[in-house]
Amino acid sequence: MPSIDLTGHTALVTGGSGELGRVLCRNLAACGAAIAVHYHAGRERAEAVVAEIVAEGGRALAVAADITDANSVLAMRDTIKQGLGPVSILVPNAVIQYQWTSVLEQDVADYESQFRSCVVQAVLLAKAFVPDMRARGWGRIVATNTECTMQCWPGQSAYVAGKGGMDRLLRVLAKEVGSDGITVNQVAPGWMISDKYRGEGAIDDSGYIERTPLPLGHRGEDQDIANAVCFLASDLARFITGAYLPVCGGNVMPAV
């Protein structure tokens, strides 16, 4: 039976200490990859993820970087290469958080931050890590997008502007690096249940489900996103590139 085996690969997950990032790290490690857990300010959380992976027999390290700064990204690349080897699986997952409001009320700085943490991050990561993938003749880029890119609900403008720009950039990149054995895909989560919501006890998601409504009738979990990322990072998905894959219970459905 086909299985997901990432042994011999090093994966970088940006925002690896966050709600979704830590689950991505754990699952990629469970598939055999060595894991670079990126963080910006959450050092203790990142080190906790590393400790979990190492306790399970995996290899991991925590690495700090400003993913919107070229020199910081290059320094991160060198640290990972020295500690774990060249990155062949890249998961751009980090994003700057901000308060959502209407277009007329949203600060212009919020649009700039979303552009930098979505588009600029993807550009800088590609410049830093694709050359090693090319040298190996194998690489996987699996970015975290969002169902919001297709929803465009009121209040989402800065977020969807950044993620929408990232989507188009990565589609171009997929065409530019495909002949080098590198695939470039995106997973678009819905409003998933993560540790944050589990810790709050009962989750009132009736409004979300009623407004959608979700064809599957319930919200997904962070594990569902990790499953999709691990699949796209593996050779099971070797002929898939340029894809925007919603993992949202059918909330949004790309059409042809």
pLDDT of the residue at 255: 84
DSSP β-bridge partners for residue 33: none
The pLDDT assigned to 188 comes to 97
The whole-number pLDDT of residue 206 equals: 59
* Distance, first Cα to last Cα, the chain: 32
Residue 44 has pLDDT above 90, yes or no: yes
Indicate the helix (H) or strand (E) that contains 39.
strand 34-39
Cα Rg of the chain, angstroms: 18
Q: Which two tokens stand for residue 77?
A: 């690349």
CATH number listed for the domain at residues 10-245? 3.40.50.720
pLDDT reported for residue 217: 76
Rounded to an integer, the average pLDDT of 43-53 is 97
Give the pLDDT score at 204: 65
Cβ contacts of residue 82 below 8 Å, gap of 6+? none
What ranges in the chain are assigned the alpha helix state H? 21-30, 43-55, 70-83, 108-115, 121-136, 148-151, 157-177, 195-198, 206-211, 222-233
Residue 202: strand, helix, or coil: coil
At 72-85, the pLDDT tens digits run 999 999 999 999 99
pLDDT in tens, 194-222: 887 776 665 666 566 666 667 777 788 99
Taking residue 44's Cβ as centre, other Cβ atoms within 10 Å add up to 10
Mean per-residue pLDDT for 131-146?
Answer: 98
Q: Is 197 a catalytic residue?
A: no
Residue type at 198 in one-letter notation: R
In the chain, the amino acid numbered 152 is C
> Cβ neighbours of residue 205 under 8 Å, at least 6 residues apart?
191, 219
- Which of the following is catalytic: 39, 98, 111, 159? 159
DSSP, collapsed to helix, strand or coil, labels residue 122 as: helix
Contact by Cβ (8 Å): 37, 59:
no
**pTM: predicted TM-score of the whole model, two decimal places:** 0.94
What mean pLDDT is predicted for residues 2-30? 96
- Across the chain, mean pLDDT equals 94
Q: What residues does each domain of the chain span?
A: 10-245
- Token pair 């020295």 is at which residue? 82
The structure tokens listed for 246 are 């919603």
